[in-house]
Amino acid sequence: MIGLLRSNAGLVAVGILGLALLAGLPIILDLYTLLQITLYAIFAILALSLAFIWGYGGILCFGHSAFFGLGAYAYAVAVINIGESSVPLLIAMALPALLAAGLGYFMFYARISDVYVGVITLTVTLIFYNVVNSTAGPQYHIGEALIGGFNGMPNVPSLNIPFLPDDTLDPQGMFVLCMGLLLVVYFGLHGLLVTRFGRVLVAVRENEQRVEFLGYDARLHKLIAFSIGGALAGLAGCLFTAWGNYVSPTAFSVVQSAQIIIWLMVGGSGTLLGPVIGAVAISWLTVEIGTQQVVNANVVLGAILLVFVLLVPKGVAPMITEKFAPWALSLRRPAATPHQLPQEGKA
């Protein structure tokens, strides 16, 4: 047990830190900051959903906001019609997962090359954006829910305690839920990646042909991974709508898709912690830059992206583990085996 803990020290540390933030932040932070951090947690879930399919599955999805936006709108439409948030939350995950499965079927089973997967996903999100953008007017409604076109959908109900529509979550409750879900998604994906499915998925990223020579269906692995990523992006979309009680077509925008990719690039797409750090750091920075008038936020973000692509191509998290962790480990090692210390001193 102790050995297991030690070999997973990083994971344990993340878990403890996560739980500490989950319990502590609502007590110490003011409402405004807590709301901001709730949003960062939602974005972190979104970043993880893309990290899983891009960083581990090797699927270059340039239009991830299609799933995010679909989840956001599916929740809004469903919760307005149903008047209770539990089923809408599930719908907001199921619809993007189905879209991903459908898209994935045509892309992966037709063995379309990576570049075209990028083009197709980008196109899909553009289609969503333009269709939803042009649905202003009373004739565009699903049940009782007006789609609202470029004006978006205001007054979307918040999440409530399952099946108790009158007990909506307060900001503290929403924070605990989002932070909790972030931890569940983070550790869930970690767990998934050590299973045979997860390991084969990484192998597909490395060499699809060899995976098939070994008797695994690479197409099916990609399809399942893509659907999981779609469902998680949908979850983030649902939380996003519930957080702001509002959704607009910008959820589908290419800017939104690019934003997720930037989080991954800055944080490190081949890891799970990196995208979380990237999403939180960049989102925080965007807000901070917005408070002053000297430089435009997009200029700063563009510069940051340039710096990372050129100087830290793998992102922050791999850089830390590769460059600094060996140094930190070498400091720790003598302490772990104290009897060797005197000998080393003599030499």
Partner 1 sequence: MSPPLIETRGLSKHFGGVQAVRNIDFSLAEGELRCLIGPNGAGKSTFFKLLTGQIKPTSGAVLFRGTEITNLQAHEIARLGIGIKTQVPSVFNALSVRSNLWIAAARHKKGKAVAQAVEAQIERLSLSRFADGLVGQLAHGQRQWVELGLVLCGEPNLILLDEPAAGMTEEERGRTAELIQEINRAHPLIVVEHDMSFIRTIARRITVFDRGAILMEGDVDQVFGNQAVRDVYLGKQAAA
Binding stretches for partner 1 (CB under 8 A): 196, 199-200, 202-203, 206-207, 209-218
Least distance from C-beta 207 to partner 1, angstroms?
5
Task: Report angle CA 184, 276, 231 to the nearest 5 degrees.
Answer: 50
Query: Which residue type sits at 83?
Result: G
Q: Between 60 and 161, whose beta carbon lies closer to partner 1? A: 60
Place of tokens 């767990």: 191
Q: How far is the CB of 44 from partner 1 (least distance, A)?
A: 25
Distance between CA atoms of 200 and 316, rounded to whole angstroms? 26
What is the CB-side half-sphere exposure of residue 340 using CA atoms within 13 A? 6
**Residue 6 or residue 210: which is nearer to partner 1 going by CB?**
210
Is the separation of the CB atoms in 237 and 72 below 8 Å?
yes
Complex with partner 1: residue 54 or 216, whichever CB lies closer: 216
Q: Shortest Cβ distance from residue 308 to partner 1 (Å)?
A: 20
Closest to partner 1 by CB, 29 vs 220, is: 220
22 versus 201: smaller Cβ distance to partner 1 = 201
Give the DSSP H or E segment for 145.
Answer: strand 145-146
Backbone torsions φ then ψ of 145, nearest 5 degrees: -90, 120
- What is the number of residues in the chain? 347
Cβ neighbours, 10 Å, residue 227: 23
Fill in the amino acid letter for 299. V
Number of helical (H) and strand (E) elements in the chain, helices listed first: 16, 2
Of 196 and 323, nearer to partner 1 (C-beta) is: 196
Q: How far is the C-alpha of 347 from the C-alpha of 344, rounded, in Å?
A: 5
Q: Which is nearer to partner 1, 170 or 212 (CB)?
A: 212
Structure tokens that stand for 6 in this block: 């030690």
Least separation in angstroms between CB 126 and partner 1: 32
Q: Minimal distance in Å, beta carbon 328 to partner 1?
A: 20
Residues in contact with 233: Cβ distance below 8 Å, sequence separation at least 6, in sequence order: 46, 49, 50, 64, 67, 68, 71, 96
Q: Which is nearer to partner 1, 167 or 206 (CB)?
A: 206
Whole-number minimum distance, CB 213 to partner 1, in Å? 5
Rounded to the nearest whole angstrom, what is the least distance from the CB of residue 174 to partner 1 in the complex? 39
Shortest Å, Cβ 111 to partner 1? 11
> Which of 192, 274, 234, 232 lies closest to 68 in space, CA to CA?
234
Residue 267 near residue 274, CB atoms below 8 Å: yes
